[in-house]
Amino acid sequence: MELDMVTMAASIGVSVPVIRFLLCFVTTIPVSFLWRLVPGPLAKHLYSAFTGALLSYLSFGFSSNLHFLVPMLLGYAAMVLYRPKCGIITFFLGFGFLIGCHVYYMSGDAWKQGGIDATGALMVLTLKVISCAMNYNDGLLKEEDLREAQKKNRLIKLPSLIEYFGYCLCCGSHFAGPVYEMKDYLDWTEGKGIWAHSDKGPSPSPYVATLRALVQASFCMAMFLYLSPSHPLSWFTDPAYQEWGFWRKLSYQYMSGFTMRWKYYFIWSISEAALIISGLGFSGWTESSPPKPKWVRAKVVDILGFELAKSSVLLPLVWNIQVSTWLRHYVYERLVKKGKKPGFFQLLATQTVSAVWHGLYPGYIIFFVQSALMIAGSRVIYQWEKAIPTNMALVKKAFAVMNFAYTLLVLNYSCVGFMVLSKHETLASYGSVYYIGTIIPIALIILGYIIPAKPARFKARKEQ
């Protein structure tokens, strides 16, 4: 068996631990399908927890489940012992343990060298544990003080320990996400809410949507295997790279980011297929006639939406969608005081949390600070575009094209840090193109204060 795995790993150019993980990861699809055949909520919770723990053991070894138990038990203890502050307690305890694991294992180095460990799964699990505790905390608050997301997801009653374990480890969904809410997990398991019998018809068939996700996964893997040999990250430190011209360096930064993204697209397409076939990915019915099922909860990435994004502001809405939603609901919105508008502080704080969640590598920190600058700069261009009167369509279009080009340039410049991780390699890559992707966003932010956008309607009234 080990010999077969060595052969398989060599055939696609990965290590044996990675091929073992991939086999277990793909197995989450049939495991999720079999969940549908398990009778009764209690048996379903047990099946969810057992299969998740078993797949973790087969993929990462026995110690992985011990690592997962720490944040799970800390979060549950906080909910039992001190409900009024269990959300914030779990947030800091969960992130504290995750940071400790990041520092101890330095997983980024292992990932770059073709290895893998349980830290990636622990990242997803940490978000699930924190959201559960925060939603249980929200159950104490008055409904009029809550945002819509809080009203929808809050927990009035403490989940049982077996419900909690089933939610955290559900059929291996903690491997790569997507992140979902405890309230949705309980409704799905018990056949309540949108999973209850509907007058729009029986439970939706997941098979066409699952097949579509699997076809997408196959295409993404093919793209990655085709592009990766000709765009290695090692070239960023090769002396030959430094001799290239400005435009060639810039285009290589784009192609490196473009190539790496197909790996993530593949992983997330498999995650999407598993959640869809289980039924948990179901998100309601469309208003069309006849109504069609929606699978938004399972959606992790919109490939075309990301690659062709018209603005940097749209990127979090189409990349790692469920984690972006988590950051918005549990960090960004909760930092905004009632009656106030969010600003750059909330954006930077959210991006910092995202950076720490990924790991304490300088490349991650630099990338997410860059992301905050990139989004702020894109907002300035958008505000200018909105301020242009509708009768100046060509100028308006020029600003739209400018925002698209800006997003393409700054995104792929910035993501080098996310890929190479080290401060030296990141700054060397940025410096090789004269820090253009840092200077332009900062210049736009400053210009936004010097030349503030004025709504077009006021201009039109003035002219009249």
Q: Are 172 and 120 in contact (CB under 8 A)?
A: no
Q: ∠ CA 198-269-100 to the nearest 5 degrees? A: 105
Encoded tokens for 73: 């038990």
**Contacts of the segment 411-414: beta carbons below 8 A, 24+ positions apart:** 411/257, 411/309, 411/312, 411/315, 411/374, 412/253, 412/254, 412/256, 412/257, 412/258, 413/250, 413/253, 413/370, 413/437, 413/438, 414/367, 414/370, 414/371, 414/374
DSSP state of 328: I
Encoded tokens for 55: 């797949």
**CA gap 403, 222 in Å, rounded:** 31
**CA gap 364, 415 in Å, rounded:** 9
What is the CB-side half-sphere exposure of residue 409 using CA atoms within 13 A? 18
Residues 6+ apart with CB under 8 A from 23: none
Q: ∠ CA 424-429-430 to the nearest 5 degrees? A: 100
What is the CB-side half-sphere exposure of residue 49 using CA atoms within 13 A? 17
Q: Does an H or E element contain 127, and which?
A: helix 119-138
Q: Are 350 and 331 in contact (CB under 8 A)?
A: yes
Is 358 an annotated catalytic residue? Answer: yes
**CA gap 370, 413 in Å, rounded:** 9
**CA gap 346, 24 in Å, rounded:** 38
Residues 6+ apart with CB under 8 A from 82: 89
Residue 200, classed as helix, strand or coil, is coil
Q: Are 44 and 35 in contact (CB under 8 A)?
A: yes
Residue 164, classed as helix, strand or coil, is helix
Annotated catalytic residue: which of 231, 329, 358, 424?
A: 358
Active site residues: 358
